[in-house]
A and B are shown apart, each in its own frame.
Chain A
Amino acid sequence: MARNFNPQILLCLMLIVISAFGCAEDERQSAAVSDDVYNEWVVPLRQSMASAESAGGGGEVVQLDPTGWATITGRFVYDAPSAPVGVAFSTTSDPVCGAFNIRDESLMVNANGMGLANVFVYLRTRGFGDPHESYVPGQEIVLANNGCRFEPHALAIWMENKIKVTNEDPTGHNTNCTAPGDPKGSFNESIPAGAFIVKEFGRSQPRPNEVKCSIHPWMSAKVLPRENPYFATTDADGNFRIENVPAGIELEFQVLHELSGNLNADASWNNGRFKVTLQNDETHDMGVISVGPALFGR
């Protein structure tokens, strides 16, 4: 074999190695476009920008006329032999927090019945008149710093309401909320023991805002501000229930979870969405919606 060895191949291998090395660290994806894409897409969009300088965004929302109200419920269940247990955090940097046993809450499954908590279900469809009278604006919805964790971990909030971040612990916290495109809803403020802050959101978000405490970096919550009150998060048993949603028109719901993003619980769902039209006064039970670990990267 050695006799037949082809030096060309050696040279070649060397070149491959050199070229691979030179590029290994850099996997940047070019933003340059091909000539076809340039001519078909870039040129017309650029021209329209130049001509229609004042083309307003936002878009008109078509007004929809519900015939009445209905309720939608269901239960998310984690389809695995056993419930995952979040890793325990080291919390000893603060003597107060060190007393609590705090675990990662990004995937909360109730071992008793396998219910999946903290799934967001919200109505995407826009353009109804006033919401049902059971929804009262102007309230303060509490996100508590309690036991060196946020309670609740997943919170959806109607933008007509405010968020009150409290601190029930005998130690100081700070609450750092990142709300993309929403300076009003983005804040990082210190909250001494016993104190609270009240904030409003200025933008309905498609995905929950990230909320952290920098003093206790393990603390994390997901807060989803919405322009209408038709949403729910699943409870510890995986149940959700949205009452008094508009009936008689096709509704599109969005389902999300912090680990999966859009939750395609059913192969027929796209982008974590399903459509349904409810009858007046109907209680529509979606039954058990089973979701496998693969959706959560487990």
Chain B
Amino acid sequence: MFPHSNPRTTRQATLLCCLALATIFTGCGSSDGVEFVLNTEGVPSFETQLAQQSEILASQAESNADINVDERLDEFSDSYFRKTDELAAALEALFGTPDDPARPPQTGLDIDLIRRAAGPTGGADVEPLLDEDGNVIAPGYHLGGLYREHCVHCHGMTGDGAGPTALFLNPYPRDYRQGTFKFTSTQSKEKPTDEDLRRTIENGLHGTLMPAFRVALTADEISALIEYVKYFAMRGEVELFLRAELFESGETLFFEDGTFNGELINTNVELVASLWSNVTVVQPVPRPGGKSWEELTAAEKQESLEIGERLFRNEGQCIKCHGPAGLGDGGQLNYDDWNTQKALVEDEAERAEMWLLPLQELKARNLQLGVFRGGRRPIDIYRRIRNGITGTPMPAANVGGSPIPDPLNPGQMIEPMEEEQIWHIVDYVLSLQYQRGFRTPSPEMNAPNGR
């Protein structure tokens, strides 16, 4: 088995040996280093793509003798690696590196805040850049290193939510690169405001491993981290759009003659920037009757809870996912946006090739626990119900509109839910924690159609 005296084999073995040693000393691949990685979530490896391509070409060559399969495969490989370089180059030009961040002016991001969050733990001074005569071309600056000190082990160097600790957490830390955030005050599926991000970072997300930094960090430090989170999100979304332009739409970012497609790059940067600047904060409507929960009489409280329970079961459709008693046992298997595509790939090895973290299920919340990630103030719960939870299955409530015919009772009409009625559901949801063990709702309340 071992061809012990074949000099060629020995030489090969020695080479492999050196390679192995080199790998051990330099760390594995690139991710341990201080550099960004490309977002290849859900993208099959080059080898897999090449194999697919070769199968397609082989089948087409059967009926078309003009197809030179080898030539076309070479073209495919060349184009794959060129496009990968183009993507990395555009990202570096626009957003820099972990130790030398930049941002396109259109994003409106504040580079001083970003620098305070970026860089090595403990901070570092970057020397000014001088020309031959000693004139300053680019002034020096200080990197504050806050992100790597407080966030990187969960959220990762690239903001991909796949730091070393991530694997052990449920839910996983946020992957910022899709620009999707859950706990927002804005319209369904819109970006968060700075205030939303501040609340998350100050208070943490209860019931998850996302810590509260209110004590550890000053308000200014949190401002820097908010900017850096937005930087990751914008960089990440620009990357996704540019990747699609290159690999799906077949566009070119850098031309052979040394020029570049500034218009295409600009369009995508401006699109992403506009998503952050055009958001609508949802202002809650006043409570029915204008009285806060504390101001209600005992009878009024009871009435609000009863209406809330009815809406929870019927018009609100909450029981579909949260179950009749709010235990989160509504039935179906669900995933957040970061896992939906994974769930469609059955083969585990294939999944491992395409995604950094294994598939993770998302259950509808058990509302009897009284633990709310996005905050437990009535206004927080109101916003979750009114706007849904972006990035998760939880939908925005269906409010307003005109009466609709009742499909179960011909001739009768159903009144749609009004926006102010959301407050009754809020009251009901906040009351559930005092009903632990409550499992069997009264039969007449448990409408089978979950309207």
Contacts and interface: CB of A to CB of B under 8 A. Distances in A.
- Shortest Cβ-Cβ A-B pairs, 8 listed: A214-B393, A57-B267, A30-B30, A57-B266, A23-B28, A45-B93, A12-B17, A271-B250
Interface stretch (A14-22, A69-77, A125-133): A14-22
Interface string B426-450: 0000000000000000000000111
Interface string B95-122: 0010000101110000000000000000
Interface stretch (A114-122, A153-161, A189-197, A237-245): A189-197
B421 interface: no
Interface string B339-372: 0100000000000110010000000000000000
A25 B358 CA distance: 11
Contacts of A178: 189, 337
B5 A190 contact: no
B13 A30 contact: no
B414 A187 contact: no
B93 A41 contact: yes
Interface string B5-40: 100001001101101110110001111010111101
Contacts of B158: 31
A38 interface: yes
Contacts of B334: 214, 217
A9 B333 contact: no
Interface residues of A, number: 89
A183 B188 CA distance: 8
B189 A186 contact: yes
A206 B332 contact: no
A176 interface: yes
Given A59-B263, A192-B314, 14 more contacts: A12-B17, A22-B23, A27-B29, A28-B356, A30-B88, A32-B92, A57-B267, A176-B393, A180-B244, A188-B394, A190-B397, A192-B317, A193-B451, A195-B416
21 contacts: A5-B4, A11-B17, A15-B24, A23-B28, A26-B28, A30-B30, A41-B260, A45-B262, A49-B105, A53-B106, A183-B275, A183-B278, A188-B396, A192-B414, A195-B414, A207-B244, A214-B394, A217-B334, A261-B248, A271-B248, A294-B60
Contact of A96 (B263, B398, B449): B449
Interface of B: 1-2, 4-5, 10, 13-14, 16-17, 19-21, 23-24, 28-31, 33, 35-38, 40, 45, 52, 55-60, 64, 66-67, 84-86, 88-94, 97, 102, 104-106, 158, 187-190, 240-241, 244, 248-250, 254, 258, 260, 262-272, 275, 278-279, 314-317, 320-321, 331-335, 337, 340, 352-353, 356, 388, 390, 393-398, 401, 404-408, 414, 416, 448-451
Q: Which of B5, B20, B33, B262 has the most CB of A within 10 A?
A: B20
